[in-house]
Amino acid sequence: MLTSEEKLQRGFRAEDDILVPLPVDSSSDEDEAAADGRHADEDLPSSASVLVEAFLEDVVQRSAAACVGASASLFDLDFWQNEAAQLGLHVMRPDRGSAGALPPSAPLRRSLDRRGYLQSPTLFPGDADEATLSALRRMLARLKQLGFAPGFLYVFDEAWLVIERCMRLLGDVLVPEAGTGRGVQQLVLEPSVFAHALEKPASAEDTDEERRREAASQDASEIARHSYLGGNFGLPHRDHSSSDCFDAASGEPVLLSLWCPLTRVTADNGCMFVLPKDRDPLLHQPRHPHHLRPFDASSGTLRFGLGGAVALAPCDAGCALAWHGSLVHWGGCCSAHAEEGPRASLTAGLRLRTSRATQLQAEQSEGELTVEQLPPPLEARLRMVASSLLVYKWWFPLRGAVPARFVPAAASCLSTLEEGVLRVAVEAAHVPDPLDPRRWMLRYTEALGSRLGLRVRWVEVPFDGSWALAGEEGAVDLVATNVAPSPQRRAEAVGAAFSDPFMYERRALRVREADAGRYATICDFGGERVGAVRGMNAEIDLRRRVQTHAPAVSVVATDTFPELYELFHRGGLAAVAQAEYYAIDGSVIPSSPPGIVLVDHHDLVPGQREECAFVVRGASRGLLEAVNEFIATTAFPVAGELGKRDG
C-alpha cells in the first residue's frame, strides 16, 4: 500500500485505498508469498505443474538435466522433423518462398497514431500461403494430441515465416522515414513469443460443467485467474508500461504488440478487444497506481469505460494486428454458437533496437532477435518457448505443457508394478473389428503408454468385477474395460481411483434392421429373449426395465460380447443390450455394422451422463495424474482409428 504522504504527492486523499501496481506478469498472491520469503508454488504438492516448471527452467538454462533421464529428448531434431514432415512443415529447413508485396504502411501508421492499434489485410493471400497457414493449424491439433502446449508451434520454420512477414510490415509502420522495406532493419523481436489455440465448447451447458470441474480441481494455493494452456487471456491488461512503449523525448512509439491469427476471426470465435487510446486516460500515465491494473481481479473492479472497447473482427487468417504495447486489451473466448472454428493465433513483441529492453524481456534469459536471425536454431527456439511459458504461467497451469516422457522428473516420480511397464486389464488383447469399443480401448491405452514412455502389457480378464483388479491387492496398474464409475463399483475398487471420463454412453437395444419396425422400446419384446454381458450396466439396466415394464421378456447373460453376438446371429436373441457411444463433445462414435440399428435410447439414470473411465491403481505413484493429463489432451477414440481393421 502507498503511504499517506505518497498518496498526497500523487493527487489522492490520504484515506484512499490505493494499490501499488504490480508487474504485468505477477499477482498479489505471488507477492504475498514473496513477502515471507517463499515462492507461491512452494506450498503446492509435488504436482505435474511443479515438475514441468522445473523442467522448463532447465531448458531455459541449457541444463543437461533437461535431456538426461527422460525417455525422449526435447532437443531431438529427428523427432521434430519427422512430426513436421507428416504435415508438410519444416524444422531447420526454412523455405521462405515468395513473400509478395506488403500492403501500404501509411494507412496503418495513421490508424496507430489515431486509435492506438492497426489491422492489416492478410499477408498470406496466395494458395501456397493458405496451405502454410492450414498446415500450422493442423500442427496445433497435433501438438495437443502429443501433449505439448501450443507455444511449441515456434519449433517449426513456418511459424517464423509468419512472424518475419509481420515484422517487415511493422518495420515500415514504426520507421516510415527509413523507406519501404528498410524499417525492419531497425527492429528487434523480443523473446516473449506465444501461441494460442482456443477450444470451442460443445454447448453452453458444457461450458458451465467445465467451469464447475475446474473449480472443484483448483488447489486453494494456486492463482484462480488463469486460463487454460493456449486459451485466451481474458482479463483486460497492458503487456507493458507506457514508459517502455514511447520515446521519452519525442513521444513516438517504440514498441508494438503483434497478434497474427492463423484462422479467420469473428466477433464470437475469440477475437481481440482493445481500448482505443482516446478512451484511455491512463495510457500516458505510467506512474499512476492503476496504470498496470486496468482490471483488479481480486475485487472485480474495471477501471475504464467498457463501452469504449472495440472488437478487432472480422479479420482474415494471416493478417497483422498490432497495438501500442501499453494499450489495454484482452482476448475473447470462443462461443459454443460460433460458426467459425475456434481462433488460433501467434503473438510477439517488436521494438526499435535503439530502445531499452522491456521488463518482460529482462525476465527472460534469451536475447532479442533481428530479422536476419530468423528463424533461430532449434535449441534457441525451444528455450524461447520454455521461457515464454514460464513468463506467462500466471495465466494458466503448466500441467500438460510437455509430455511426461520428455520430463525426467516426471519419469522418475511415476511408478508402476514393473519398471518401464504398464500392466493393463482388458477384456481382449486382440480385437480386429474397428467398430468394437474394446478395440478403441486398446488403441487409446497404447497411445497412453507411448505418451508415458511405458511398454503396455495386457492382462485379459472378464468384465464383471474387473474394476477391483487395480485395488489394494491388484495385479494391474490400470483397468481399461470401459467402466462406468457407479457408487457400488467405487466402493468395490478399494485402493484404486477412477480417472476423468473420456467418453459417455446411452443405453440402447441393438436389433436387426429388418426388425426395426417391430421394436421401439423394451415393452415391444414380450415373449422374446434379449441378451447382455454379465456384470455390465447393460445387464443391470435390462433386468431392471424388464422387471418394471416387460416381465414377459427373457434376459440372457453371457460372459463376453463375442458369445453374446454369436447367439444373436444364430437367431437365439431378438436384441442385444449394448449402449450407443459418444465422445465427450457429444458426437456419436459409430459402433454398429450394416444391418444393425439401435432402438430404445435412454439414460441409465435419467438426466445423467453415463461416463466411462479408467480404473487406476492407487499405489502406482503419479499414474492417475498422468492418465488424466492424457485424457485432457487426447480425444477418444484416437484419431484415424475408426474404419481400420486388423488383418
Q: Where are the domains of the chain?
A: 22-404, 414-647
- Mean pLDDT of the region 150-165: 97
Task: Give the model's confidence band at 43: pLDDT under 50 very low, under 70 low, under 90 confident, else very high.
Answer: very low
Could you give the percent of the chain with pLDDT greater than 70? 84
Any alpha helices (H) in 420-531, and if so which ranges?
Answer: 437-452, 487-492
- Mean pLDDT of the region 370-387: 94
Could you give the percent of the chain with pLDDT greater than 90? 64
Residue 98 has a pLDDT of: 59
For the chain, helix, strand, coil in percent to 5 are 35, 20, 45
- Over residues 56-65, the pLDDT tens digits come to 888 887 655 5
Span of 160-174, 248-262, 622-636 with lowest mean pLDDT: 622-636
Domain 414-647 in CATH 3.40.190.290? The answer is yes
Residue of 413 and 155 predicted with greater confidence:
155
| Average of per-residue pLDDT values in the chain | 85
- Over residues 558-578, the pLDDT tens digits come to 998 899 999 999 999 999 999
Distance CA 300, CA 304 (A): 12
481 three-class SS:
strand
- Mean pLDDT of the region 545-566: 94
Residue 412 has a pLDDT of: 60
Q: What is the CATH number of domain 22-404?
A: 2.60.120.620
In this structure, what are the phi and psi dihedrals at residue 351, rounded to the nearest 5 degrees? -145, 165
DSSP annotation of 269? B
C-alpha cell at 350: 517488436
Residue 34 has a pLDDT of: 32
244 three-class SS:
helix
Is residue 589 within 8 A of residue 558, CB to CB? The reply is: no
Span of 149-163, 174-188, 382-396, 514-528 with lowest mean pLDDT: 382-396
400 three-class SS:
coil
Residue 162 has a pLDDT of: 97
Nearest to 403 by CA among 148, 50, 145, 627: 148
Cβ-based neighbours of 296, under 8 Å, separated by 6 or more: 19, 303
Residue of 216 and 315 predicted with greater confidence:
315
Span of 17-21, 260-264, 442-446 with lowest mean pLDDT: 17-21
pLDDT over 90 (residue 286): yes
Cβ–Cβ contacts within 10 Å for residue 587, how many?
10
Residue 59 has a pLDDT of: 85
pLDDT over 60 (residue 71): no
Give the angle subtended at the CA of 495 by the CAs of 491 and 501, to the nearest 5°.
Answer: 70
Residue 360 has a pLDDT of: 77
Distance CA 577, CA 601 (A): 11
pLDDT over 70 (residue 212): no
* Secondary structure element (H or E) that encloses residue 623, with its range: helix 623-633
C-alpha cell at 594: 450394416
Distance CA 157, CA 524 (A): 62
Tell me the one-letter amino acid at 647. Answer: G
- Over residues 305-347, the pLDDT tens digits come to 999 999 999 999 999 999 999 999 999 999 999 999 999 999 9
- Over residues 469-494, the pLDDT tens digits come to 998 777 899 999 999 998 999 999 99
Tell me the one-letter amino acid at 14. Answer: A
pLDDT over 60 (residue 411): no
Nearest to 258 by CA among 304, 327, 353, 198: 327
- Over residues 101-134, the pLDDT tens digits come to 899 999 999 999 999 999 999 999 999 899 999 9
